[in-house]
Amino acid sequence: MAASKGWGRWREPSVLPGFGLAMGFTLVYLSVIVLIPLVALALRPWELGIDGVARTLSDPRVLAALKLSFGASALAAAVNAPLGLLVAWVLTRYHFPGRRLLDALVDLPFALPTAVAGIALTAIYASNGPVGALADKVGLKTAFSPLGVFIALLFIGLPFVVRSVQPVLEDFDREVEEAARTLGATDLQRIVRVVLPGVLPALLTGVGLAFARAVGEYGSVIFIAGNLPMVSEIAPLLIIIKLEQYDYAGAAAVGLAMLLISFGVLLALNLVQTFLARRGGR
């Protein structure tokens, strides 16, 4: 096999120095910071036994939290898809005063610390805030409800969609767009039949990133959520509550479940992308 010559076959020869040192440091650092901690996360839930893990995860409060975290994240990512597409389209196709500024502001949710975003969103959507007061008049409770969780996740996810779609729209093949036009397609036909299929893989990537970020989001959500058990309590908060009760294994079980479900969803999205790529020949 390839490994029969050991080190020499494992890596190809190079005149450059420093591989051993750089690689050694990289591996030690990664092991200490990422690998060993994740091994602890993967192993500690089982101190409860399989029964105990099942009991922890089927607790109605845990189930409600997981359902809220994943449901609100999926909904926010789904709404961010057309919204992000719109913003990316406007930024790449039109020239208008303030376009550069708008472009830079897309990254604001990345740049603003999550706790800051959290208290600001709460001030806006609480019933004495500018938007919350309006919503109150029509009988809609925004802050301190699942709707508040959704709004925070919308905020945190938008840049992922815009930044994934934007470069594709920018580099989109002019020849293809032009060919469709000479063949007599209307603008709408060209968008639906030519541009949309072209950006779909990137759009899915963005939606996946927004979803993954939203599932684990904590800072921007807990202030606006109100954190009512069974109603507006997110899964990450439940981990903290379990830790405060010294239920380490239970906290690890919820964390591991979150991680595995997230990876499952991302894997499924990846498969859809591969399928689309094969069908589209891209």
Partner 1 sequence: MKPRIELPGLAPLLVLLATASMALLIVMPLGMVFAEAFRNGIAGYLEPLREPDAWAAIRLTLLVAAISVPLNAVFGIAAAWSIAKFEFKGKSILLALIDLPFSISPVISGLVWVLLFGAQGWFGPMLEEAGIKVIFTTTGLVLATILVTLPFVARELIPLMQEQGTDEEAAAITLGAGGLTTFFLVTLPNIRWALLYGVLLCNARAMGEFGAVSVVSGHIRGLTNTLPLHVEILYNEYDFVGAFAAASLLATLGLVTLIVKTGLELRYAGEMRAMRRH
Residue list 129-168, contact with partner 1 (CB under 8 A)? 129-131, 154-155, 158-160, 163, 166-167
Q: Choose the stretch contacting partner 1; rule: CB under 8 A; options: 58-66, 115-123, 136-144, 269-277.
A: 115-123
Is residue 199 within 8 A of residue 169, CB to CB? The reply is: yes
Q: Which is nearer to partner 1, 90 or 272 (CB)?
A: 90
The verdict on 246 binding partner 1 (CB under 8 A) reads yes
Residues 28-57 that bind partner 1 (CB under 8 A): 29-30, 33-38, 40-41, 44
**Binding residue for partner 1 (CB under 8 A) from 243, 261, 272, 276?**
243
Is residue 45 within 8 A of residue 221, CB to CB? The reply is: no
Is residue 180 within 8 A of residue 194, CB to CB? The reply is: yes
Residues 174-193 that bind partner 1 (CB under 8 A): 174-175, 177-178, 181, 187, 190-191
Q: Choose the stretch contacting partner 1; rule: CB under 8 A; options: 26-34, 51-59, 136-144, 197-205.
A: 26-34
**Binding residue for partner 1 (CB under 8 A) from 108, 134, 230, 277?**
108
The end-to-end CA distance of the chain, in Å, is 35
Is residue 56 within 8 A of residue 62, CB to CB? The reply is: yes
**Binding residue for partner 1 (CB under 8 A) from 5, 51, 94, 171?**
94
Per-residue interface string for the shown chain with partner 1, residues 191-210, x marking contact by CB under 8 A: x--xx-------------x-
Exposure of 87 by Cβ count < 10 A (0-12 exposed, 13-18 middle, 19+ buried)?
buried
DSSP 168-206: HHHS--HHHHHHHHHTT--HHHHIIIIIHHHHHHHHHHH
Q: Which is nearer to partner 1, 23 or 78 (CB)?
A: 23
Exposure of 4 by Cβ count < 10 A (0-12 exposed, 13-18 middle, 19+ buried)?
exposed
